[in-house]
Amino acid sequence: MQTWVCNPGESWTISSSTIETAIIEISNRRLTDMNLIRSYSNWRRYRDTVGELNRLSNRELSDLGISRADIPYVARQSGAR
């Protein structure tokens, strides 16, 4: 047990398991935030790649060895870094 003083005349007694639980909860929230950021970043990369490939002519896509039907697949691969 640890005693924490927050304000003069006021103290709390907190068990170490409560502190560990709070630390785990904060860590899980940070991981969730990081996963959301990573997911958004991957989605943006996918969307940008699809947009760029769609702007190419059929001839340019053919030169790259890509058909229009392959664009979503190629864009998904660009996000798998």
In order, the DSSP letters of 7-27 are ETTEEEEE-HHHHHHHHHHHH
pLDDT for 72 equals 93
Domain span at residue 15 reads 2-78
Instruction: Indicate the number of domains in the chain.
Output: 1
The pLDDT > 70 percentage for the chain reads: 77
> Higher-confidence residue: 21 or 57?
57
pLDDT for 6 equals 63
0.85 surpassed by pTM:
no
The pLDDT > 90 percentage for the chain reads: 40
The b/e string for 30-55 (b: 16+ C-beta within 10 A; e otherwise) is: eeeeeeeeeeeeeeebbeebbeebee
pLDDT > 60? residue 3: no
